[in-house]
Amino acid sequence: MTVTTVESQEMPVFPLARPARCPFDPPTEYRSWQQDSGPRQVRLPSGQLAWVVTKHDEARASLSDPRLSNDILNPRMPKLQPFASSSANNPGTLAFIRMDDPEHARQRRMLTAAFTVKQTESMRPMIQELVDARLDRMIRNGPPADLVSVFALPIPSEVITHMLGISYEEHTFFQSNASMIIDLTNTPEEAGRAFMALTDFFGEIVSQKEREPGDDLVSQLLSQRVATGELTREFLVTMMRTLLIAGHETTANMIALSTLTLLRNPEQLARVRDAGDPALIANAVEELLRYLSITENLVYRVAAEDFTISDQLVRAGEGVIISLPTANRDATVFESPDKFDIDRNTAGHIAFGYGVHQCLGQNLARVELQVAVPTLLRRLPGLRLAVPFEEVSFRADTGTYGVHRLPIEWQPYQRTT
């Protein structure tokens, strides 16, 4: 068993920066830690120490170990998000995704029926319509455009608001507040205010659905779970806020980064664009998920009791950060892991996490990506970046990786006179 003796002076401060020339790759240091046995100890900006898990097998083992707690109320939880210490952590209004079982499982199970493979597949025509309507508008307005603001952000927003039965007109309100919560550079006060604004907003939505139930998830949960006493109204509000934040920014970043990745790999872009085979598109999406693994600094836990990761003792109360992007580049699982290859066997990627907290909305995200990305490529002929690649501004210091803007242009349709 290894005893921790790393001097604090030489301890790296997490998170480290990605290599400037390879913005799709995880920080080089994390890749070198992958060669060691066991996790690597780091210091967080909060001053806390934590362990970083970078290997695929250790990531899977850690994420399925019940001794690693996801309870945000644990005062020793690594503080990586600004709201981790804000007023948002009232026990009565806590998000189930930051709880442990059994309460986490109890609340999650109220939502799983809405996100099954069949249920999300049945949403494909609706998603296709939303994507086509967005593209109609882009084509009407003509190039250039910022893909993030006119396509990548609105699509998941429209899908989740459709599921929740909320008018899409509120979407700018969502976007600004959801971004404030996720952006690690915001102060806890800013993030806390955004959190409260979204909470108030969903409180009003729930009141509205109480008065006028519709054919939507909020109304279903009200009649099936709140009315029976299984779920408090406060928890329902929190659930809605959680679904919105989780389902919105993540998919948006995946749409934008997927487009950028394919633009950098034109032969594979052409195959995704021209594919008549849904299996090719499905595997390309899995590879994009593996290669990009955008939830870079969002998966962290605290040891509820002493345990070991490989030979390293992790003591109760110590934080553990699981680096999904690095684990998904583990050469012992994925051959030539830094190569983007839509034909590879992607089985085993953990872009959606692993264990009981694995992403609830993963099948919805898959359908959204399978529809949005190929449709975009087909309908905007000659799609290209409108700026040099070096000028694309990547989001650093946020929990979710992405780009701030993605200026694109394409061959406008010729008008016949």
Binding site for another protein (CB under 8 A): 63-64, 105, 108-110, 112-113, 115-118, 347-348, 352-356, 358-360, 362-363
Taking the complex as a whole, the smallest distance from the CB of residue 117 to another protein amounts, in Å, to 4
Q: Is 62 helix (H, G, I), strand (E, B) or coil?
A: helix
Q: How far is CA 243 from CA 139, 161, 202, 415, in A?
A: 31, 10, 11, 43
Considering all CA atoms of the chain, what is the largest pairwise distance in Å, rounded to the nearest integer?
Answer: 79
**What is the nearest approach in angstroms of another protein to the Cβ of residue 280?**
15
Distance CA 120, CA 127 (A): 10
Residue placing its CB nearer to another protein in the complex, 321 or 360:
360
* Three-state SS annotation for 14-25: CCCCCCCCCCCC
Shortest Å distance, C-beta 360 to another protein: 8
CB of 324 to another protein, least distance (A): 13
Give the shortest CB-354-to-another protein separation in angstroms. 5
Minimal distance in Å, beta carbon 374 to another protein? 18
In whole angstroms, the minimum distance from the beta carbon of 11 to another protein comes to 32
320 forms beta bridges with 51, 301
Whose Cβ is closer to another protein: residue 90's or residue 116's?
A: 116
Burial 193-228 (b: 16+ CB within 10 A, else e): bbbebbbebbbebbeebeeeeeebbbbbbbeebbee
- CA dist 86 and 92 (Å) reads 14
- Shortest spacing between CB 160 and another protein, in angstroms: 18
CB 246 within 8 A of CB 334: no
Query: Given the complex with another protein, which of 285 and 406 has the nearer CB atom?
Result: 285
Strand partners, 407: 146
User: Which is nearer to another protein, 39 or 353 (by Cβ)?
Assistant: 353
Tell me whether residue 156 or residue 355 sits nearer to another protein (CB atom). 355
Contact in structure between 340 and 291 (CB atoms under 8 Å) = yes
Q: How far is the CB of 121 from another protein (least distance, A)?
A: 10
Between 193 and 366, name the residue whose CB sits nearer to another protein.
Answer: 366
Cα distance between residue 188 and residue 190, in whole Å: 6
3-state SS record for 167-230:
CHHHHHHHHHHHHHHHECCCCHHHHHHHHHHHHHHHHHHHHHHHHCCCCCHHHHHHHHHHCCCC
Radius of gyration over every alpha carbon of the chain, rounded to an integer in angstroms: 21
For residues 112 and 411, which CB has a smaller minimum distance to another protein in the complex?
112
Distance CA 331, CA 323 (A): 15
Neighbours of 360 (CB within 10 A): 19
Of 32 and 345, the one with the shorter C-beta distance to another protein is: 345
**Of 308 and 358, CB closest to another protein:** 358
